[in-house]
A and B are shown apart, each in its own frame.
Chain A
């Protein structure tokens, strides 16, 4: 099994390696991990909200968040260009 597959299995098992996991200060690590988890949940690449932020899973919050995203899309969509990787 390759190193990558092992790390993938570790991630799937919940033992997720964080980019700053070897920092000496646990509080800094916890804060960074929480921030990453928060943004991952907002972007729907994680399905569970971070600890202490269960309000993010409420329908009201989801409605607000979708509203923000749709607002950003409408605000900036006039200048869009081709995705870079389409040409590869």
Chain B
């Protein structure tokens, strides 16, 4: 829940934003740290992970201490990246990976029965990796202990992004906007918009998306199936964009700006444009820390397609420890590869597309993206069954 609870607004956001603006600049990072740590512990105890989840606050302390040793070209940056990936593997993928080797939990001697996911681990690990890589490359300054800890414990974006960059966060932390009235007007409008999108649209779709299970799919008439899947497409967009609105609006109350995450992705007319406007902060992260290091689009054409597939495979795996997420990632990888191949083959055209051409391109993009949600919201056997029923009757 978190952003749609009174506790978030009353215990954390409003007091933190006001305190942040009232204290002297040198104390501002420590306000972020104090409230961020309290936020992590409170919501771990009450919603995710329990006492063990709350104890994971030591990850942030360890990361901050370790990051002080990062220098340009230092092997410690690489160690930092490896340990961050290990955190993620242990907490998120342990049972999935050991399950691939040993099978069902009953046959898996390494099965972790008490496995839990520390709050926001998928997102804060991306920020850890970004900082380590950029320090290694010399692309960012170190900042102080307090500034880096404020960056990783900044609670509006801690749980589910938008994924920040230290280079843009630091100036904002050092010199936040002093225009209280404008920031609060814009921030509160963004917050209310996010909450209204979540309650009035995303949650309303649950009545349809609850049917996306094997039993209901087996009994449903065929014409209902695309409606259920479309409802999930609407739900996930409004749910996550609402979450991002609340995060961005919350940061604005502090006088800080964080990256945008969505820009009308469903209005786009090809899959590459879709990904440039859907979960933008993740797309940028994948581009900078996976796709480009793999060689990006400057390799030979077959290698570029492999890079696209690998990047989207990792994107799928990051979304969840399940084969369905991997298939979802690969589906998007294949769409991006197909789009790239088509664009190269078609070449540059001097004439602008017609309205009919644009509508057709939009429809193809919209339908393929929404078909992909089947793998995102259902496990692999259920998604396969859904698609068989949808196309085979």
Interface residues of A (CB under 8 A from B): 2-4, 7, 19-20, 22-25, 28, 36, 42-45, 47, 62, 65-66, 69-70, 72-73, 75-77, 79-88
A84 & B240 in contact (Cβ 8 Å cutoff): yes
A44 & B4 in contact (Cβ 8 Å cutoff): no
Partner of B355, one of A25, A62, A69, A86: A25
- CB of B74 closer than 8 Å to a CB of A: no
User: Which residue of B has the minimal Cβ distance to A17?
Assistant: B273
Contacts of A84 in B (CB 8 A): 235-236, 239-240
Contacts of B284 in A (CB 8 A): 4
Interface residues of B (CB under 8 A from A): 1-4, 48, 117, 122-123, 159-161, 185-190, 192-193, 195-196, 198-200, 203-204, 206, 235-236, 239-240, 242-243, 245, 248-249, 260, 264, 267-269, 273, 276-277, 283-284, 287-288, 292, 296-297, 318-320, 352-355, 358
CB distance from A66 to the nearest CB of B (A): 6
A24 & B355 in contact (Cβ 8 Å cutoff): yes
Partner of A85, one of B160, B283, B354: B160
Contacts of B352 in A (CB 8 A): 22-24
User: Which residue of A has the minimal Cβ distance to B3?
Assistant: A83
Distance between Cα atoms of A67 and B212 in the complex (Å): 35
CB distance from B177 to the nearest CB of A (A): 12
B206 & A79 in contact (Cβ 8 Å cutoff): yes
Interface of A is mostly: helix
A22 & B358 in contact (Cβ 8 Å cutoff): yes
CB distance from B184 to the nearest CB of A (A): 11
Interface of B is mostly: helix
A88 & B195 in contact (Cβ 8 Å cutoff): no
Partner of A76, one of B1, B200, B248, B292: B200
Q: Do A19 and B264 form a contact, CB below 8 Å, given A77-B199, A79-B203, A84-B236?
A: yes
A44 & B159 in contact (Cβ 8 Å cutoff): no
Distance between Cα atoms of A70 and B192 in the complex (Å): 7
Contacts of B240 in A (CB 8 A): 83-85
Partner of A44, one of B189, B204, B264, B318: B189
Q: Do A20 and B204 form a contact, CB below 8 Å, given A66-B189, A69-B192, A70-B192?
A: no
Which of B196, B203, B245, B264 is packed against the most chain A CB atoms within 10 Å? B196
User: Which residue of A has the minimal Cβ distance to B376?
Assistant: A84
Q: Do A81 and B203 form a contact, CB below 8 Å, given A42-B193, A43-B245, A69-B196?
A: yes
Contacts of A76 in B (CB 8 A): 199-200, 203-204
A20 & B358 in contact (Cβ 8 Å cutoff): yes
CB distance from B189 to the nearest CB of A (A): 4
Contacts of A24 in B (CB 8 A): 352-355
B199 & A87 in contact (Cβ 8 Å cutoff): no
Going nearest first, the 6 A-B pairs with the smallest beta carbon separation are A44-B189, A76-B199, A69-B192, A44-B190, A85-B160, A72-B196
Contacts of A19 in B (CB 8 A): 264, 267-269, 273, 277
CB distance from A45 to the nearest CB of B (A): 7
Partner of B117, one of A77, A79, A87: A87
